[in-house]
Each structure stands twice: as structure tokens, then as C-alpha cells.
Amino acid sequence: MLDGQNTKGMVDWAEKIAKKTIEDKFNPLTTSQIRNIYGTVKKLEMAGDHEDVLPKLILLKPKLAYAVGRHNKVKGLEILRDVLGSAIDLVAEKKEPRFQNFCRFFEAILAYHKAEGGK
């Protein structure tokens, strides 16, 4: 998916993930929790320094782990950590064009999360 071969599959997968993140009505993943992580990714995308992207992207994994530890009742955050962690590993194997597709994938998750009623 991150190679850009299956855009529809990537969008469908993002929608499924977004729905999963808000299933727990008592402790749903909030938009601000997603945006905190998404903001870091967006800064990397806009920086344009492609040599520095990968190390900073990999450092997003501990940030995700910290967020899960801090909000340990939010199962949607665990889902996001697992999905994005796996995607980051795939980007590390072959940075371009996977990084750009990773950014689009994450943006789709955020959009569907909001569309599904994420607060």
C-alpha cells in the first residue's frame, strides 16, 4: 500500500482504522491526540530535508509509545501506535515514495476519524 500501488486499498484501510479508534465510547481516541502526532509528521513533510526525515520519523515510535502509556485506557491510541509503527517500519525499508504515501495514509485516518464523529 505505501508503495502507491493500491490507493483505494489505503483509503479503505484508513477508514477501518478510524472506525476502530472510536469504538470505545468511554475512552475514545480524541482528535487532539491524533493531531499531536500528525503535527510532527506534517512538519517532517513540509521541511523538505529528505535526509533528515527517516531518523525523525523513526523517533515518532517512542512518542507513540509514550502517548499510549500516558493515556493507557484509550484503546484507539494503541491501535494507532500499532498501525503507524508498522507503517514507519515499511517507510524505513524504502523511504521514497513511501514517506509521502505514509503522510497521505495518516491524513486519511485523521479525516475519517473526524467524519466518524471523533471528538
User: Residue 75's domain spans which residues?
Assistant: 7-115
pLDDT of amino acid 75 = 93
Q: What is the pLDDT of residues 58-82, one digit of tens each?
A: 999 999 999 999 998 999 999 999 9
Q: What is the CA radius of gyration of the chain?
A: 14
Pick the closest to residue 31 from 74, 61, 73 (CA basis): 74
Residue 20 domain flag = yes
The confidence score (pLDDT) of residue 15 equals: 94
Q: 10 Å Cβ neighbour count for 66?
A: 11
Task: Say if 2 falls within a structural domain.
Answer: no
Residue 47 lies in a domain: yes
Asked whether the whole model's pTM tops 0.85, one would answer yes
Angle in degrees, CA 4, 9, 10, rounded to 5: 60
How far is 97 from 118, CA to CA, in rounded Å?
29
What are the pLDDT tens digits along the chain (119 aa)?
A: 677 778 899 999 999 999 999 888 888 888 888 999 999 999 998 987 667 888 999 999 999 999 999 998 999 999 999 999 999 999 988 777 889 999 999 999 999 999 987 77
Domain count, the chain: 1
Long-range contacts of 59-66 (CB under 8 A, 24+ apart): 60/84, 60/88, 61/85, 61/88, 63/37, 64/37
